[in-house]
């Protein structure tokens, strides 16, 4: 990794911090939504229970309605008192006319002032206390009948605030009527003085149940409810930062090992022969790098090439391919009908400057173009932009009769734009498609369409990853012009490749002599 110059502990701390904070934020958000849902359910429950009590008050006031406007006689009083005794939760029934209560089940025929405007929606009044029990809150239900008469049913606050206590003893719930709030201690206040509340309105009576959520969503409730999530967040933060640091260390070590391996010439080009589909003779080969570090595990090119592209050593690795191959093949003379193709894998990076041209020129100085033709394999998996520099490089390659091949064709998403940009001489079918040619219809369609396109463009087609006879036969029947794969040969050192060519030549010579 290029930009990891800061100490590993700092990296660890950073990863830990980022994951820990995001984990905590997520857990907090989860707790909030969970508690909010729970609180809403409690509000609904509380509202239903308060409605039930007010239902009793309503029923008492309806029962008393038949005496509305009647004189406060003993018989009226005893009838009303009988209702108070029979109906649960109700403390008193009072008869009023206009602004005067004139008959109460508690005091009998006495007069008290009353103002209908104090009642929310003319129906409900929350009081801190009254003359009878000045320190005990109550709620009054008002039933306005006719001719200025009304019946008032009082309910002791005790029944109401007990609901709040029952719902949750630690609750911060209030019953709100108009602009008054009754707390779970039965105290009636006119201002709540909190910012964050949620509430549930009753659909039957003009009251709401209000929850002070600033008291609910606190750090201590968070710790209480989410200690298991917090423990998990800590665990995952530590684990991730540990794994990330291991990965970074691995990359740093691999980076250092790669530089050392290049210096010690532990990375060298091998070649995998490519065969002509018609006569199954060697038509050339693909240069593939092999990292043979003494006493260590084999490191696949897929891993170190990616790293080399990131840290810039790909430039040196490509040079190694060209220089070593040229040295190995320079004294070799192989009089075939057509030159053998030597395919080099090149990265997007090489199309940004002219270094690749110098490498091709170097190769051609050592190795006769009549014997070996350079093919540059451009993989579709990398993005090469159609810039002026790229076009110049491509033009110069064409002038030198260097062939271009589109590697891994069909696996990326650039196929048609690359066809246009590179005007390739070869299209290479990836081993992913070759492996499916026998049974997979999609692979068969892809291969057919690549072959159709190649024919129209006048390109040769190399099928990579041929592993058995059936694949070979099917690909040949479909129109593939070249084979490459373990069925024919695995990648081999360059001198072994030369031996293979020598044997082919000897076999050819024998055949010719036999014919003569």
* Interacting residue ranges for Ca ion, rule: CB under 5 A: 345, 377, 407-408, 430
Minimum distance between the CB of residue 327 and ligand C2E, rounded to whole angstroms?
16
- Name the residue nearer to Ca ion (CB basis): 261 or 463: 463
For residue 275, give the nearest of 509, 512, 476 by alpha carbon.
Answer: 476
Q: In what order do the strands lie in the sheet with 188-189?
A: 188-189, 180-182, 173-177, 208-212, 197-201
Q: How buried is 412 (Cβ within 10 angstroms: 0-12 exposed, 13-18 middle, 19+ buried)?
A: middle
Structure tokens at 409: 């064709």
Find all residues with CB under 8 Å of 199, minimum gap 6, and list them: 43, 176, 208, 209, 210, 211
Q: Residue 272: name its binding partner from ligand C2E, Ca ion, none (Cβ under 5 to 8 Å by kind).
A: ligand C2E
Residue 157, contacted partner among ligand C2E, Ca ion, none, CB below 5-8 A by kind: none
Q: How far is the CB of 286 from Ca ion (least distance, A)?
A: 6
| Of residues 233 and 326, the one with the C-beta less far from ligand C2E | 326
Cβ proximity to Ca ion: between 345 and 471 the closer is 345
| Shortest Å distance, C-beta 305 to Ca ion | 10
CB of 322 to ligand C2E, least distance (A): 10
Shortest CB 434 distance to ligand C2E, Å: 8
Extended beta strands in 263-413, E state: 267-276, 282-291, 340-346, 372-379, 403-409
Q: Which does 347 bind (CB under 5 to 8 A by kind): ligand C2E, Ca ion, none?
A: ligand C2E
Q: Residue 60's binding partner, choosing from ligand C2E, Ca ion, none, with beta-carbon cut-off 5 to 8 A by kind?
A: none
Q: Footprint of ligand C2E on this chain (CB under 6 A)?
A: 272, 287-289, 300-302, 305, 317, 321, 345-347, 379, 407-408, 431, 464-467, 484-486, 491
Measured between alpha carbons, how far is 465 from 445 in angstroms, rounded to an integer? 18
Nearer Cβ to Ca ion (287/394): 287
Q: Which residues, including other chains, have CB under 8 Å from residue 63's CB and lie 6 or more apart?
A: 83, 87, 93
Which partner from the list ligand C2E, Ca ion, none does 65 bind, CB cut-off 5 to 8 Å by kind? none
The span from the CA of 299 to the CA of 313, in Å, is 16
- Between residues 125 and 317, which has the closer beta carbon with respect to ligand C2E? 317
**Could you tell me the CA-to-CA distances from 255 to 238, 241, 251, 267, 312 in Å, in that order?**
25, 20, 6, 14, 11
Query: To the nearest whole angstrom, how small is the minimum distance from the Cβ of residue 465 to ligand C2E?
Result: 4
Smaller CB separation from ligand C2E, 159 or 497: 497
**Burial (Cβ within 10 Å: 0-12, 13-18, ≥19) of residue 512:** exposed
Q: Nearer Cβ to Ca ion, position 260 or 306? A: 306
**Residue 335 CB: number of other CB atoms within 10 A?**
8
Q: Pick what 486 binds: Ca ion, ligand C2E, none; C-beta below 5 to 8 Å, kind-dependent.
A: ligand C2E
Which of Ca ion, ligand C2E, none does 305 bind, CB closer than 5 to 8 A by kind?
A: ligand C2E
Q: How far is the CB of 360 from ligand C2E (least distance, A)?
A: 15
Q: Which is nearer to ligand C2E, 288 or 494 (CB)?
A: 288
Q: Minimum distance between the CB of residue 370 and ligand C2E, rounded to whole angstroms?
A: 25
SS3 letters across 460-506: EEEECCCCCHHHHHHHHHHCCCEECCCCCCCCEEHHHHHHHHHHHHH
- Chosen from Ca ion, ligand C2E, none, partner binding at 491 (C-beta under 5 to 8 Å by type): ligand C2E
**SS3 (DSSP) at 253:** helix
Q: How far apart are CA 144 and CA 29, in angstroms?
A: 48
């Amino acid at each position: 990794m290029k930009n990891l110059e800061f100490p590993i502990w700092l990296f660890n701390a950073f990863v830990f911090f980022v994951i820990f904070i995001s984990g905590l934020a997520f857990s907090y958000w989860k707790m909030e939504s969970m508690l909010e849902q729970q609180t809403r359910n409690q509000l609904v429950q509380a509202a239903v229970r308060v409605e039930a009590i007010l239902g009793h008050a309503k029923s008492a006031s309806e029962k008393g309605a038949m005496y509305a406007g009647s004189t406060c006689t003993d018989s009226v009083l005893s009838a009303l008192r009988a209702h108070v005794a029979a109906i649960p939760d109700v403390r008193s029934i009072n008869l009023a006319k206009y602004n005067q209560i004139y008959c109460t089940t508690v005091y009998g025929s006495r007069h008290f002032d009353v103002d209908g405007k104090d009642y929310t929606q003319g129906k409900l009044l929350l009081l801190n206390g009254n003359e009878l029990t000045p320190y005990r809150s109550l709620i009054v239900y008002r039933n306005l009948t006719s001719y200025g008469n009304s019946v008032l049913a009082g309910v002791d606050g005790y029944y109401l605030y007990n609901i709040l206590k029952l719902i949750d003893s630690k609750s911060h719930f209030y019953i709100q009527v108009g602009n008054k709030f009754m707390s779970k201690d039965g105290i009636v206040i006119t201002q709540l003085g909190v910012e964050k509340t949620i509430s549930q309105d009753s659909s039957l009576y003009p009251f709401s149940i209000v929850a002070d959520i600033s008291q609910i969503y606190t750090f201590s409730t968070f710790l209480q409810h989410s200690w298991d999530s917090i423990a998990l967040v800590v665990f995952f933060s530590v684990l991730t930062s540990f794994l990330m640091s291991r990965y970074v260390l691995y990359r740093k070590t691999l980076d250092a090992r790669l530089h050392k391996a290049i210096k010690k010439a532990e990375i060298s080009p091998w070649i995998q022969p490519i065969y002509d589909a018609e006569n199954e003779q060697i038509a050339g080969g693909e240069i593939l790098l092999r990292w043979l570090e003494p006493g260590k595990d084999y490191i696949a090119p897929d891993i170190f090439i990616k790293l080399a592209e990131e840290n810039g050593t790909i430039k040196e690795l490509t040079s190694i391919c060209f220089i070593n191959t040229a040295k190995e093949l320079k004294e070799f003379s192989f009089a075939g009908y057509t030159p053998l193709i030597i395919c080099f894998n090149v990265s997007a990076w090489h199309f940004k400057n002219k270094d690749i041209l110098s490498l091709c020129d170097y190769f051609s100085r050592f190795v006769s173009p009549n014997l070996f033709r350079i093919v540059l394999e451009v993989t579709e998996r990398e993005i090469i932009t159609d810039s002026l520099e790229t076009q110049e490089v491509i033009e110069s390659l064409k002038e030198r009769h260097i062939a271009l091949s589109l590697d891994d064709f069909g696996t990326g998403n650039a196929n048609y734009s690359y066809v246009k940009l590179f005007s390739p001489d070869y299209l290479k079918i990836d081993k992913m498609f070759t492996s499916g040619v026998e049974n997979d219809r999609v692979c068969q369609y892809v291969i057919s369409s690549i072959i159709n396109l190649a024919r129209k463009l006048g390109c040769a087609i190399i099928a990579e990853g041929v592993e058995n006879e059936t694949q070979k036969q099917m690909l040949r029947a479909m129109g593939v012009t070249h084979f490459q794969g373990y069925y024919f040969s695995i990648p081999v050192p360059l001198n072994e490749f030369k031996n293979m060519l020598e044997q082919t030549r000897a076999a050819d010579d024998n055949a010719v002599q036999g014919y003569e």
